[in-house]
Structure 1
Amino acid sequence: MDNSGSSTSGTRSFEDLVAEGVAVPTEGWDFSWFEGRATEARPSWGYARSAGDRLSRATTALDVQTGGGEVFDFALSRAAAQPPMLVAATEGWPPNVAKATELLRSRGVVVVAAAEDAPLPFADAAFDLVLSRHPVRANWPEIARVLRPGGTYFAQHVGPGSAVELVEYFLGPQPDDLRNARDPERERAGAEAAGLAIVELRAERLRMEFHDIAAVVHFLRKVIWMVPDFTVEAYEPQLRALHEQIESTGPFVTYSTRHLFDVRKPTE
């Protein structure tokens, strides 16, 4: 999402805005459609730029759960003067596999279809750098297995209770175990149990704004784990009420949570 904060809805009807939100394709992780109608503050660490700097020093690199490959492509563009000799990516959703393959082919990236909960389809100690932006779950034993001794896992994870205000608008109060899922300290413990050492772990809470109901509809269609059973038909009353709220009082505000992992596999 962008950081501009201007609305494009004007006086358009609820029906028109919802129809637009439904019509936008959901493949990949390109959020440029949201420009002018939704915003999200960016973490201070600049993940994609930092990943690019690390790629320029790597010889073999893997991007796990690459989505449509957009963020990995940007990071590789930062390392264009000295890219890794071997670069691979995994993705589990077939439309994104096709999109990432098309986008990353010119950079020599091998995109492998692999379910998010499956073992990584690579040999032990195959990579000196493993990247991931917003993985559904970090498979720490597999990450440790494919890293070379001295290798690094560098990733930006979604944190606990991300956009919980939006989720609870549609689903009501959430139990603590769901609110606290993706807790960075639990993930730290998982990494350490797999034999990895935490070099740095940082967390931030970031303001998000939705300026029209089309942005809400598209977001919930794209980020399907927020409201897993979301359809416009099922949630039409809530959507209509939220549209009226935005029109009368301004953007709907929620907060994303992100944390940065810099993890190292000890040398033998």
Structure 2
Amino acid sequence: MNLYHSKSESSVKKITEAARERFEQGLQEANQLFSGWDFSYVTGSDRLQSGMLPWSYGTMARRLLNQTDRMLDMGTGGGEMLSRLLPLPPYTCATEGYLPNIPIAEERLQPLGVKVFPVTDDSQLPFEDGEFGLILNRHESYDEKEVRRILSAGGLFLTQQVGWSDCREINDRLGIPMPVDYAGWELERAVLQLEQCGFRIIEQREAAPTQRFYDIGALVYYLKTIPWQVPDFKVDQFRERLMDIHIEMEQNGFWEVQQNRFVILAVKE
């Protein structure tokens, strides 16, 4: 039964007030601490759910680990994913560009024998030519020329990327254009760039799973932790539009957007 269709006017008023209270409470999620690259605060409680991909990045990565003894994980975040891929090759390094993540990654990865390198420029990585036989990259920017430089001959590059059109319904509803910095960043373009740089593509796949937000707080938390989706996101700026989305969540039980993901496995020739 839809609670909003109660015959009692007073109960409708109470529910409306309760929904407004839930909205105001949800806006406070903008102040919730976020560290590393761990979304379990909302995913662990099922407040945010993403559709299944037709591949597993983690499984693909694990299958490659025993093919090399020298590996790099680009954009390791807080080391969450890498620390779950044990056992790691004897020589494993990681990079991270977001400075607050560095101590988190070091605390998690150094006991595993992994050295974490801060990076500020994708085109200037602190490694020797041909240093790695495998480079992993999950949702991190990269310079294909630099990746090729630090890969050994026959080395493998596995990357899962977020396409430019990812969750564009959020931007549409908030009245914010998609970020131009990533315009056109889709599977076809990434494959072409790698091929032109001297890579041979072994595997390429693309998918558009749905992502559901079950309360406005989950959406606010997501936008505060994904700053490139809506740059300089502030709840007061979008209060009215967020309320419209909140009302849909209250009526339908969720609000849904479409993701864009692609994965590429390439070899240096």
Q: TM-score, normalised by structure 1?
A: 0.87
Alignment partner of 1:22 out of 21, 30, 37: 30
Displacement of 1:74 in angstroms is 1.3
Residue type of the alignment partner of 1:37:
R
Please tell me whether residue 247 in structure 1 is matched to residue 258 in structure 2: no
1:13 corresponding residue in structure 2: 22
> Given that residues 69 and 104 in structure 1 are in contact (C-alpha distance below 8 angstroms), is that contact kept between their aligned partners in structure 2?
yes
Residue type of the alignment partner of 1:23:
N
Residue type of the alignment partner of 1:129:
L
Please tell me whether residue 74 in structure 1 is matched to residue 109 in structure 2: no
Alignment partner of 1:152 out of 141, 153, 156: 156
> Given that residues 178 and 229 in structure 2 are in contact (C-alpha distance below 8 angstroms), is that contact kept between their aligned partners in structure 1?
no
1:53 corresponding residue in structure 2: 63
Displacement of 1:250 in angstroms is 2.6
> Given that residues 223 and 229 in structure 2 are in contact (C-alpha distance below 8 angstroms), is that contact kept between their aligned partners in structure 1?
yes
23-32 or 150-159, which moves further after superposition?
23-32
> Given that residues 145 and 197 in structure 2 are in contact (C-alpha distance below 8 angstroms), is that contact kept between their aligned partners in structure 1?
yes
Number of equivalent positions: 249
> Given that residues 52 and 74 in structure 1 are in contact (C-alpha distance below 8 angstroms), is that contact kept between their aligned partners in structure 2?
no
Residue type of the alignment partner of 1:18:
L
Alignment partner of 1:84 out of 61, 82, 89: 89
Displacement of 1:172 in angstroms is 4.7
2:4 corresponding residue in structure 1: none
1:125 corresponding residue in structure 2: 130
- CA offsets per residue over residues 188-227 of structure 1, 9 Å max, x none? 1111121111111110111100000110001001111100
Alignment partner of 1:114 out of 86, 98, 119: 119
Question: Displaced runs of 4+ in structure 1, greater than 3 A?
Answer: 172-175, 177-180
1:97 corresponding residue in structure 2: 102
Displacement of 1:154 in angstroms is 0.7
> Given that residues 41 and 207 in structure 1 are in contact (C-alpha distance below 8 angstroms), is that contact kept between their aligned partners in structure 2?
yes
124-133 or 178-187, which moves further after superposition?
178-187
Displacement of 1:179 in angstroms is 8.3
Secondary structure class of the residue paired with 2:259 = strand
Residue type of the alignment partner of 1:65:
G
Structure 1 gaps, min length 5: 1-9
> Given that residues 70 and 132 in structure 2 are in contact (C-alpha distance below 8 angstroms), is that contact kept between their aligned partners in structure 1?
yes
Question: Structure 1 57/100 Cα, relative in aligned 2: closer, same or farther at 3 Å?
Answer: same
Secondary structure class of the residue paired with 1:239 = helix
For 2:90 and 2:115, the matched residues in 1 are separated by 12
Task: Please report the RMSD computed on the Cα atoms of aligned residues, expressed in angstroms.
Answer: 1.9
Question: Structure 1 60/54 Cα, relative in aligned 2: closer, same or farther at 3 Å?
Answer: same
Secondary structure class of the residue paired with 1:233 = helix
Secondary structure class of the residue paired with 2:265 = strand
> Given that residues 90 and 113 in structure 1 are in contact (C-alpha distance below 8 angstroms), is that contact kept between their aligned partners in structure 2?
yes
- Identical residues among aligned pairs (%): 31
> Given that residues 71 and 134 in structure 2 are in contact (C-alpha distance below 8 angstroms), is that contact kept between their aligned partners in structure 1?
yes
Residue type of the alignment partner of 2:266:
V
Question: Whose radius of gyration is greater, 1 or 2?
Answer: 2
Displacement of 1:248 in angstroms is 1.9
- CA offsets per residue over residues 37-69 of structure 1, 9 Å max, x none? 110013221101221221233210001111111
1:134 corresponding residue in structure 2: 139
1:32 corresponding residue in structure 2: 40
Question: Structure 1 39/251 Cα, relative in aligned 2: closer, same or farther at 3 Å?
Answer: same
Residue type of the alignment partner of 1:149:
A
Displacement of 1:229 in angstroms is 2.1
Question: Structure 1 173/30 Cα, relative in aligned 2: closer, same or farther at 3 Å?
Answer: closer
For 1:151 and 1:162, the matched residues in 2 are separated by 30
Write the mapping of 1:180-219 to structure 2, written as runs, cut at 5 A. Answer: 181-219=184-222
Question: Structure 1 116/225 Cα, relative in aligned 2: closer, same or farther at 3 Å?
Answer: farther
Residue type of the alignment partner of 1:226:
Q
> Given that residues 161 and 178 in structure 1 are in contact (C-alpha distance below 8 angstroms), is that contact kept between their aligned partners in structure 2?
no
For 2:39 and 2:65, the matched residues in 1 are separated by 23
